Amino acid sequence: MTHRYFGTDGVRGLVGRSPMTVDFALRLASAAARVLAPAGGRVLIGKDTRLSGYMFESALEAGFVAAGVDAMLIGPLPTPGIAYMTQRLGCRFGVVISASHNRYHDNGIKFFDAAGSKLSDEVERRIEDLIDEPVVTQSSQSLGRATRIDESRQQYQDFCSSSLPKGMDLSGFKLVIDCANGAGYKVAPRVLADLGADLVPIGCSPNGRNINDACGSTAPELLQLTVPGVRAHVGLALDGDGDRVVMVDELGRIVDGDQILFILATARRAAGELRGPVVGTVMSNLGLELALAERGINFVRSAVGDRYVLAALNESGGMLGGETSGHILCLDKTTTGDGLISALQVLAVMKTSGAGLAELAAPMSKYPQVMLNVKVERRFDPSIDAAVRDATQRVERRFEGRGRVVLRASGTEPVIRVMVEGHDAALVKRGAAEIAGAVEKAARDR
């Protein structure tokens, strides 16, 4: 279903440019209130640390209150924390002001329903149908109220801690935590420290502009240097809104979402706790699929996006899925992707087994993979261009059945993603450059 404003993860864009304007946020709030809380009720509003979050928070608050909905403002909190607290506080829906892993120039607005789940395409379409209508203002006696509930963050912290096996703590672990100067900068270090870890925090000093700036899951180079430098057992890197995590082993090497899935799936299988197939995406490394197959674990692929991973898990009865980027779904622990809870599950495996992160990740061999992002003025389907199709087919023939090509328009950025994977690193690199060149030309010619 094609949307005018909603992408794969809410509405997102450059601050000050449509749709990320104050006027749009006000109209979006009014439309969402009419669809999600037509008889009133409460909405929870959270955000990350971007400077523009203040103005969007105020605009959403005004739109909700004018429509007769009580607005509860919790301040900076990871996206999964908003999902959990929306349910916990009995709200009709929740809102997160964040552009996730993007830099501070961007921002976004995304929604959860009363159950802490992302909205369906149909509900998003109903909201879009009302956005261009005038903002609703109820009579004075029917207006909503706004309250700040920052202290409620403790409930989410307790929930994260409870995802560890009963009686387990993190004493004996030295951890480096990188919060991307984002939404997790308060709660993540507090949870880990309260559980007894010896903690070295980085990326925990937001100033409104440094979110995801040379830190966090999309830029873990500092974490890679810090972990072996301070002789830590492991490093954790969240993204700006805290729903993703990548890890760094004791040698300073990245452990990405595919490897995290492998570690969790094999541990749950060994404990007799794994239910259903593991779900990845079309971008998941072929090495994950093969490593799981060797251990008798079924693996299925969905479209890119955590909502599609979740849909595949629900359809198949699975409990564990995720993306290479570190967006992991542990449905036996929570309802949505949560970087901190995912990291805690890996730490629990390390604690139980006595093995280091490098040892746990070693049995999965990753196929060489190159991802190139081709910037475009407007997103388009690259597969409809004849020259792009020809380039793709040439590259695929060279792999002789031992490689893959995936082309997709990003749902969160104005880029076309070109992913090439195969047994031969040189073929992969050359093929990715060839296809990216064809996509660039197709974009110029449009």
Annotated catalytic residues are 100
Pick from 207, 235, 423: nearest CA to 326: 235
CA distances from 372 to 168, 302, 303, 438 (A): 41, 20, 18, 12
408, β-bridge pairs: 417
Contact present, 60 and 111 (Cβ < 8 Å): no
Q: How far is residue 271's CA from residue 320's CA, in Å, rounded to a whole number?
A: 14
Residue 63 identity (one-letter amino acid): G
Q: How far is residue 324's CA from residue 281's CA, in Å, rounded to a whole number?
A: 8
Q: How far is residue 10's CA from residue 102's CA, in Å, rounded to a whole number?
A: 14
β pairing state of 245-248 and 254-255: antiparallel
- In the block, tokens 């789940």 appear at 117
Q: How far is residue 282's CA from residue 259's CA, in Å, rounded to a whole number?
A: 16
